[in-house]
């Protein structure tokens, strides 16, 4: 048996795309002012720049505000069910590894109802990219707390304040064996675009947490991290091979006995004491430590935390199939006649 020819991965010259080529005729239905608009524009712009044919992209999503994303991308798209985009994408990528598969999810879809599938997608390491929009609230169901909402948060379902301890998406991703983990945010298109491009270049599952403002139900959730006035002091911009400096170089992160410590240069130490970011560190401990720090105690890390190289699930599976096909002919007649058979003659 031969598979139907798998589409994708063509050799013909790539058309010259613009952002408009990736825009659909559908009305965008996010609330005015939603951070999703900025992410959409960044992704559409990036798609026009990537050396990939439009028909080879597939955007797969679950349920929630962010999961409407595929309807606005003029590529192939699948708006699935709550929490299961990761599972649908797994079967799709196995069936056609030539496709560039993007999973768009949110803090509820990806970490609550779909937490299990996310964990397994990451450990299997399909060559796909996960864009997790984190707005720390449930938007589409109109304002309940999410797994990333802070303790004590008052929402429609927590009138006396949330008693659910929030999780760190980056720590979950690292703990699940993700081979590429990073963070960016909606309104910094340049940074976000750069990180997504790195993720696309990475062979394996890339996980990007995108801080995204929900101006209706959780406005300003990330203001202290992202607003112009404070962002230099509130963000730790991670770059491989560079010192972990922030606040205009006045402060930095040092690792003391394995723990990250904020030092003020000239007060607690010198630039020599500041750690250098190794994004490709085989040891996970520093990345894990950075995944668990944020404002106000620390600057919030932004950028690529860690990327490591590991074979992808689909390449291992297809290698097994190739090996089996080399060893054994796919002969249906022989298969049906397997085991002990006997003939009954005409009476």
Partner 1 sequence: MTTAAHIRRELDAVTIRFAGDSGDGMQLAGEQFTSATAVAGNDLATLPDFPAEIRAPAGSLPGVSAFQIQFASTDIFTPGDEADVLVCMNPAALKTNLNTVRRGGTIIVNSDAFTETNLKKAGYAVSPLDDESLKEYAIHKVPIETLTIEATKGLEIPSRTAKTCKNFFALGLMYHMYQRPMEETLAFIDAKFLAKTPLIAEANKRVLNAGWNFGDTAELGSGFVVPPARISPGTYRNIRGNDALALGIVAASVRSGLPVFLGAYPITPASDVLHVLSQYKHFGVRTFQAEDEIAGVCAAIGASFGGGLGVTISSGPGIALKTEALGLAHMTELPLLVCNVQRGGPSTGLPTKTEQADLFQAIFGRNGECPIPVIAAATPADAFESVYEAARIAIKYMTPVFFLSDGYIANGSEPWKIPDPDSLPPIDVNFVKTGETVQPYERDPVTLARRWVKPGTPGLEHRIGGLEKADKTGNISYDPDNHDKMTRIRAEKVARIAQEIPPTETAGDPDGDVVVVGWGSTYGSIEAAVRAARLRGVRAAHVHLRYLNPLPSDLESVLRRFRKVLVPEINLGQLSFILRGKYLIDARGFNQVRGQPFKVAALTQAIMNLSEET
- Closest contact distance (angstroms) between CB of 110 and partner 1 is 14
Q: What is the DSSP letter of 13?
A: P
The single residue among 45, 53, 203, 243 that binds partner 1, judged by CB under 8 A, is 53
Regarding 263 and contact with partner 1 (CB under 8 A), the answer is no
What are 338's two structure tokens?
Answer: 């397997």
Q: What is the DSSP letter of 20?
A: G
Q: How far is it, in rounded angstroms, from Cα 217 to Cα 30? A: 13
Regarding 17 and contact with partner 1 (CB under 8 A), the answer is no
Regarding 16 and contact with partner 1 (CB under 8 A), the answer is no
Regarding 20 and contact with partner 1 (CB under 8 A), the answer is no
- Closest contact distance (angstroms) between CB of 5 and partner 1 is 9
Q: How far is it, in rounded angstroms, from Cα 290 to Cα 298? A: 9
- Closest contact distance (angstroms) between CB of 262 and partner 1 is 39
Number of residues that bind partner 1 (CB under 8 A): 70
Q: Which of residues 81-110 bind partner 1 (CB under 8 A)?
A: 81-82, 84, 87-96, 98-99
**DSSP track, 159-205:** TT---SPP--HHHHHHHTT-SEEEEEETT-HHHHHHHHHHHHHSSS-
- Range in contact with partner 1 (rule: CB under 8 A) among 6-14, 41-49, 152-160, 252-260: 6-14
Closest CA to 165 of 177, 178, 151, 179: 151
Rg, Å, the chain Cα set: 23
- Closest contact distance (angstroms) between CB of 119 and partner 1 is 8
Regarding 178 and contact with partner 1 (CB under 8 A), the answer is no
Regarding 18 and contact with partner 1 (CB under 8 A), the answer is no
Q: Is 126 or 298 the residue whose CB approaches partner 1 more closely?
A: 126
Residue 226 phi, psi dihedral angles, 5° rounding:
-105, -15
Question: Is the peptide bond prior to 238 cis by the omega test (within 30 degrees of 0)?
Answer: no
Regarding 130 and contact with partner 1 (CB under 8 A), the answer is no
Which x/- pattern over 202-241 shows residues binding partner 1 (rule: CB under 8 A)?
----------------------------------------
Neighbours of 72 (CB within 10 A): 22
Closest CA to 237 of 204, 285, 279, 199: 279
Is the dihedral angle over the CA atoms 312, 51, 110, 161 positive or is it negative? Answer: positive
- Closest contact distance (angstroms) between CB of 212 and partner 1 is 21
Which positions lie near partner 1, rule CB under 8 A? 1-4, 6-8, 24, 26, 53-56, 58, 60, 63, 70-71, 73-82, 84, 87-96, 98-99, 116-117, 119-120, 317, 320-321, 323-325, 327-330, 332-333, 335-347
């Amino acid at each position: 048996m031969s598979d139907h020819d798998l589409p994708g991965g063509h050799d013909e010259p790539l058309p010259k795309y613009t952002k408009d080529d990736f825009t659909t005729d559908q009305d965008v239905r996010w609330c005015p002012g939603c951070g999703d608009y900025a992410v959409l524009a960044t992704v559409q712009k990036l798609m026009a720049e990537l050396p990939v044919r439009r028909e080879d992209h597939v955007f797969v999503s679950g349920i929630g505000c962010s999961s409407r994303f595929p309807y606005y991308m003029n590529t192939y798209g699948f708006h699935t069910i709550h929490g299961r985009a990761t599972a649908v994408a797994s079967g799709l990528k196995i069936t056609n590894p030539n496709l560039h598969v993007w999973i768009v999810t949110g803090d509820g879809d990806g970490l609550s109802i779909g937490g299990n599938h996310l964990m397994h997608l990451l450990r299997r390491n399909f060559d796909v990219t996960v864009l997790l929009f984190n707005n720390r609230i449930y938007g589409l169901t109109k304002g309940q707390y999410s797994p990333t909402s802070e303790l004590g948060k008052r929402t429609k379902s927590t009138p006396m304040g949330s008693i659910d301890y929030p999780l760190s998406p980056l720590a979950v991703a690292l703990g699940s064996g993700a081979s590429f983990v990073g963070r960016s945010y909606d309104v910094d298109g340049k940074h976000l675009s750069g990180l997504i491009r790195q993720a696309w270049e990475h062979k394996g599952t890339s996980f990007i947490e995108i801080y995204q403002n929900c101006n209706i139900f959780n406005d300003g959730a990330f203001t202290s991290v992202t607003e112009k006035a404070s962002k230099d002091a509130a963000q730790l911009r991670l770059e491989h091979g560079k010192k972990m400096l922030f606040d205009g170089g006045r402060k930095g992160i040092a690792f003391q006995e394995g723990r990250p410590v904020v030092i003020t240069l000239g007060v607690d130490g010198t630039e020599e004491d500041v750690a250098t970011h190794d994004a490709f560190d085989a040891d996970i401990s520093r990345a894990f430590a950075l995944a668990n720090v944020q404002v106000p105690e620390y600057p919030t890390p932004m950028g690529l935390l860690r990327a490591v190289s590991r074979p992808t699930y689909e390449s291992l599976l297809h290698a097994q199939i190739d090996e089996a096909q080399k060893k054994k002919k796919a002969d249906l007649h022989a298969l049906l006649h397997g085991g002990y058979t006997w003939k009954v003659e005409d009476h």
